[in-house]
Amino acid sequence: MLFRALAVLAVTTAAAAAHGHDSHAHEQSILANDEITVNLDVREHWMRVAIQALYDLVSPCPFSAFGTAVVNHTSSTGPGELICIAANTIADDGNPTLHGEIAAINNCTTVLRDSDGPFKLSPEETSQAWKHLSLYTTAEACPMCATAIRWAGFKEYVYATSSETLMESGWPQMSINSREVFRRSGMVEPSTAILTDVLYGETDPLFSWQFDSRAPCPAGCSRRVQGEACSPL
């Protein structure tokens, strides 16, 4: 299991290097470490739910456009079941750990534990639940979030915009990306499969305007004054 997941990781990073990251030419529909294979259109559906989480929880053009959806891919044919959504809410909360992925782990814990909700899990059952779940995030996880994803033991981690693209767009990043964190996490069981670059064409524009005053705003937003930050229409 572990070695197969690492093999997938090695393949994705080798493909990224071979194509050059700008081309993003290596979209993959299937992860090898599971008997369930999920079609790319289902992957894209859930990534759009992660994008929609920004609109639903923050705004059409939040500065930190990091949205997340956590999904149970219960079978290879159906779309699967949404467990929770979340978004980066540092600006609203002041808590610096509330990146989209950490916010999702927090919110899903609340949803899974909720005695009035659909799951009603105990703490022990909640701890065991993550290994069935897939986390979709609009951008590649930072080392804090990548580590949290690995400690949770998610089945899969799926991202859209890469950390290279974030850096090219001016986003400050730790100089260790999530693929490196995953590569170094082999002692932590269960392993988490990784799927890169899903729907980056729709997410890259969410991150391209914050540090470039000439870049167009995401749909539903505009710069009221030239050079000003994008805000909802």
Ligand X SMILES: *[C@@H]1O[C@H](CO)[C@@H](O)[C@H](O)[C@H]1NC(C)=O
Residue 119 found at the interface with ligand X (CB under 6 A) = yes
The SS3 of residue 50 is helix
Q: Which two tokens stand for residue 56?
A: 């639903």
- For the CA atoms of the chain, what is the radius of gyration? 17
**Taking Cα atoms as reference points, which of 212, 214, 177 lies closest to residue 196?**
177
Residue 72 found at the interface with ligand X (CB under 6 A) = yes
Residues with Cβ within 8 Å of residue 127, at least 6 apart in sequence = none
Cβ 216 to ligand X, closest distance in Å?
Answer: 28
Give start and end residues of each alpha helix (H) in 117-199: 123-129, 143-152, 163-168, 178-183
How many helices (H) and strands (E) are present in the chain, helices listed first?
A: 9, 7
Residue 107 found at the interface with ligand X (CB under 6 A) = yes
| Residue 131 per-residue DSSP state | G
Residue 50 found at the interface with ligand X (CB under 6 A) = no
Taking CB under 6 A as the rule, which mask of x and - marks residues 76-105 in contact with ligand X? ------x-xxx-------------------
Tell whether omega for the bond before 143 is within 30 degrees of 0, i.e. cis: no
Cβ 72 to ligand X, closest distance in Å?
Answer: 4
Cβ 63 to ligand X, closest distance in Å?
Answer: 17
Whole-angstrom distance, CA of residue 218 vs CA of residue 54: 12
Q: Which is nearer to ligand X, 111 or 217 (CB)?
A: 111
Q: Which is nearer to ligand X, 111 or 199 (CB)?
A: 111
In Å, what is the CA distance from 151 to each residue of 58, 69, 188? 27, 18, 7
Size of the site for ligand X (CB under 6 A): 12
Query: Residues 192, 171: contact at Cβ < 8 Å?
Result: no
Cβ 176 to ligand X, closest distance in Å?
Answer: 27
Cβ 82 to ligand X, closest distance in Å?
Answer: 6
Residue 65 found at the interface with ligand X (CB under 6 A) = no
Residue 74 found at the interface with ligand X (CB under 6 A) = yes
Q: Which is nearer to ligand X, 83 or 181 (CB)?
A: 83
Residue carrying structure tokens 């929880």: 57
Residue 135 found at the interface with ligand X (CB under 6 A) = no
Residue 171 found at the interface with ligand X (CB under 6 A) = no
Cβ 118 to ligand X, closest distance in Å?
Answer: 8
Q: Which is nearer to ligand X, 21 or 79 (CB)?
A: 79
Region of residue 133 (phi > 0: left; psi between -120 and 50: alpha; otherwise: beta): beta
Residue 8 found at the interface with ligand X (CB under 6 A) = no
User: Where does this chain bind ligand X (CB under 6 A)?
Assistant: 57, 72, 74, 82, 84-86, 107, 111, 119, 129, 132
